Structure 1
């Protein structure tokens, strides 16, 4: 069993109208964390406005670091977030 850390984002009410403005900076941060091996998976749920998104990180420190500087969080596109420890049984 391997421990990973899942970050859930709850979208702000106006996320769809404001996401494009901050997407390039958000994507650059995603790319940085993925390139260094800390971000394993990321994506939105079917309706990002009402269901939000999630990402999976290798460590709790990486998850916390990502959230603290994420342009979507810093600029108010995320209403709230939660980091959960996740015990992976089967990995790819």
Structure 2
């Protein structure tokens, strides 16, 4: 089972998001280097937001609580959902 962390956009401008991005990237890279993330990226539709797939709920929860995008207001809320990809079983 994987854990989807879905970020709901707070409606910040691209410039506001990019001002936070360097701190978000340093934070994110910690999870990537530990092999805890399967995939990550922004939604490209007008609603914005982002999603990451984690290998453990603990890592997903740590990310959702401490990501600079959340702490600095670019993401209004993170939702964590259990996700099963039957093709991986």
- TM-score, normalised relative to structure 2: 0.90
Correspondence for 1:81 among 72, 78, 83:
78
Number of residue pairs aligned between Structure 1 and Structure 2: 88
Alignment of 1:56-71 (within 5 A): 56-71=53-68
Given that residues 15 and 78 in structure 1 are in contact (C-alpha distance below 8 angstroms), is that contact kept between their aligned partners in structure 2?
A: no
Match of 1:40 in 2: 38
How far off is 1:15 after superposition?
Answer: 4.4
Where in structure 1 do 4 or more consecutive aligned residues deviate above 2 Å?
none
Ranges in structure 1 where 5+ consecutive residues have no aligned partner: none
Query: How far 1:55 moved relative to its partner?
Result: 0.4
- Whole-Å Cα distance in 2 between the matches of residues 75 and 62 of structure 1? 20
| TM-score, L = length of structure 1 | 0.87
State the 1:51 CA deviation.
Answer: 3.3
Write the mapping of 1:5-20 to structure 2, written as runs, cut at 5 A. 5-20=3-18
**Matches of 1:33 and 1:9, distance apart in 2:** 17
SS in 2 for 1:90: helix
Coordinate RMSD, CA, aligned? 1.3
